[in-house]
Amino acid sequence: MEQARTKWNDDRLDHLSGQVDSLRDQVDSLRHHMDERFERQETRLDAKFAALDARFDALQRTMILVLGGILSTLGGVFLAAQL
């Protein structure tokens, strides 16, 4: 009697082990798929941030040039007022 019950439990445990292995494979496949998607998103975001950085650099150069022009104009006005 004991032998039959042991065999029955062993078969159930083997079946459960197979299901766990199958689920592990599915999770690994899903993780690999998600990693690929995250890499694509990261590449896309890097490109957008590079474009945004370029725009901020251009804005900074423009602000420096405008400030230089304003200071030059004010310096010219003060020089003209002194003469």
Task: Quote the percentage of the chain above a pLDDT of 70.
Answer: 92
Q: Whole-model pTM?
A: 0.54
pLDDT tens readout for residues 8-26: 788 888 889 999 999 999 9
Helices (H), the chain: 2-82
Stretch among 10-19, 44-53, 74-83 having the lowest mean pLDDT: 10-19
Q: What pLDDT is attached to residue 2?
A: 56
Q: How far apart are the first and last CA of the chain?
A: 120
Amino acid at 61: R
